[in-house]
């Protein structure tokens, strides 16, 4: 992988909007999301269930069913190539070859009546025009790379014969099969046990680093992010509320929601019994509050927050935050002066 033009964006999304029309109104699942992923970078999109993170990832792959969903995007470019107006047929060449996706539940995303090997073979046969034998050779190599023991016989197993961790590895092998430019991993470890989660994350990180693939990791678990991401986007109720380099965010979050999320992750180093909580719950997607969506749960909310939605503004180096009262006072003063 050439690393000369690492500053260039691998994926650029501008003003992505997704709306689901319902009987009694609209669900605005994604409201104007901008995403930038550099070459070889791993980016995490963090948010709770219902914040629109999975819808975002699906609409990037154009996997969202339209209708019922309505999707609009001002710009969607993958490695300089605009995918905005691509037809379904053209997208089929892109998917798997240039960008691929890893889903949460390996059992439901693998075909139960095909052997695992066969499903990976298909990738090579479809995208690289290999014959069956050659494809199988590549499949075995791909399984070996993700750390499946005895890949030759595992390739002959059906998905139900493998354990959860092995199935997730098969999905990883499938995603990395054609060495795509971008991999979207939607909650890749949520269904796994902690010790297996550690294994799978290690494989994912190694593969991403050694092959220089860009990664978009979608998760609700901030502790997973700390292990793997370079940049973090925090999403709340369909909008990006904060973007920051991972270490900066964990050291000093600017948005009150990011702060709350970070604090509510229980830590082993904690003493005492009280858990830090964010009051209230995520707003219903059809009844979003006026003004800033987070204000009913925000400890710093003022009248201004109840009326107007704050813009996503630059604050400090490489950081964006959508808040009238960002938590970092030093840079606030720097901005006004």
Instruction: Point out which residues bind another protein (CB under 8 A).
Output: 48-49, 133, 136, 149-150, 152-153, 156-157, 161-166, 193-199, 202, 220-224, 226-227, 246-247, 250-251, 260-262, 264-270, 272-279, 281-282
Nearest Cα neighbor of 322 from 248, 237, 219 is 237
CB of 146 to another protein, least distance (A): 14
CB of 180 to another protein, least distance (A): 26
CB of 243 to another protein, least distance (A): 17
Helix (H) or strand (E) holding 256: helix 256-264
- Is residue 110 a contact partner of residue 119, using CB atoms and an 8 Å limit? yes
CB of 93 to another protein, least distance (A): 28
DSSP letter at 268? Answer: T
Question: Quick one: 74 or 270, whose CB is closer to another protein?
Answer: 270
For the chain, give the longest Cα–Cα distance: 67
Question: Quick one: 75 or 149, whose CB is closer to another protein?
Answer: 149
Question: Quick one: 90 or 247, whose CB is closer to another protein?
Answer: 247
CB of 235 to another protein, least distance (A): 13
In the sheet that holds 182-186, the strands lie side by side as: 99-102, 182-186, 214-219, 42-46, 231-236, 239-245, 320-321, 313-314
Find where tokens 């009238």 sit.
Answer: 324
Question: Quick one: 161 or 313, whose CB is closer to another protein?
Answer: 161
Residue 102: both structure tokens together: 């890893």
HSE, side-chain direction, 13 A CA sphere, residue 189: 23
Q: Respond yes or no on whether the N-terminal peptide bond of residue 67 is cis (omega within 30° of 0).
A: yes
Question: Quick one: 66 or 190, whose CB is closer to another protein?
Answer: 190
Helix (H) or strand (E) holding 27: strand 25-38
CB of 242 to another protein, least distance (A): 15
Assign 51 to helix, strand or coil. coil
Question: Quick one: 96 or 188, whose CB is closer to another protein?
Answer: 188
| Phi-psi category of residue 43: left, alpha or beta, with phi > 0 → left and psi -120 to 50 → alpha | beta
Question: Quick one: 266 or 311, whose CB is closer to another protein?
Answer: 266
Question: Quick one: 82 or 281, whose CB is closer to another protein?
Answer: 281
Nearest Cα neighbor of 255 from 184, 201, 197, 315 is 315
CB of 217 to another protein, least distance (A): 13
Q: What's the CA gap between 5 and 318, in Å, rounded?
A: 18
Question: Quick one: 247 or 335, whose CB is closer to another protein?
Answer: 247
| Phi-psi category of residue 3: left, alpha or beta, with phi > 0 → left and psi -120 to 50 → alpha | alpha
Q: What's the CA gap between 292 and 311, in Å, rounded?
A: 10
CB of 264 to another protein, least distance (A): 5
CB of 237 to another protein, least distance (A): 12
């Amino acid at each position: 992988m050439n690393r000369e033009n690492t500053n260039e964006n691998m994926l650029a999304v501008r003003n992505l909007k997704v709306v689901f029309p319902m009987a009694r109104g609209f669900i605005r699942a994604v409201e104007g999301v901008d995403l930038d992923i550099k070459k070889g970078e791993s980016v995490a999109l963090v948010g709770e269930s219902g914040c629109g993170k999975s819808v975002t990832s699906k609409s990037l792959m154009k996997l969202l069913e339209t209708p019922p969903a309505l999707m609009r995007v001002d710009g969607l470019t993958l490695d300089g190539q605009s995918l905005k107006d691509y037809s379904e047929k053209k997208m089929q060449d892109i998917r798997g070859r240039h960008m691929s996706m890893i889903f949460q539940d390996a059992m439901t995303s693998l075909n139960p009546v095909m052997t695992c090997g066969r499903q990976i073979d298909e990738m090579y046969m479809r995208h690289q025009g290999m014959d069956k034998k050659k494809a199988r050779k590549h499949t075995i190599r791909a399984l070996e790379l993700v750390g499946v023991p005895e890949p030759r016989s595992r390739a002959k197993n059906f998905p139900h014969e493998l354990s959860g961790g092995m199935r997730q590895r098969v999905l990883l092998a499938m995603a990395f099969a054609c060495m795509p430019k971008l991999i979207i991993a939607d909650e890749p470890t949520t269904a796994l046990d902690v010790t297996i989660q550690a294994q799978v994350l290690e494989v994912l990180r190694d593969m991403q680093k050694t092959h220089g693939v860009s990664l978009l990791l979608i998760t609700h678990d901030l502790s997973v992010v700390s292990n793997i991401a370079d940049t973090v986007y925090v999403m709340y109720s369909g909008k990006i509320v904060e973007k920051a380099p991972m270490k900066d965010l964990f050291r000093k979050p600017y948005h009150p929601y990011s702060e709350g999320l970070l604090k509510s992750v229980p830590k082993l180093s904690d003493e005492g019994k009280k858990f830090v909580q964010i009051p209230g719950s995520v707003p219903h997607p059809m009844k979003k509050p006026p003004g800033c969506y987070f204000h009913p749960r925000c400890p710093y909310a003022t009248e201004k927050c109840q009326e107007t939605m704050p813009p996503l503004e630059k604050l400090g180096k490489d950081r964006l935050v959508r808040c009238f009262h960002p938590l970092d006072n030093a840079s606030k003063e720097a901005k006004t002066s």
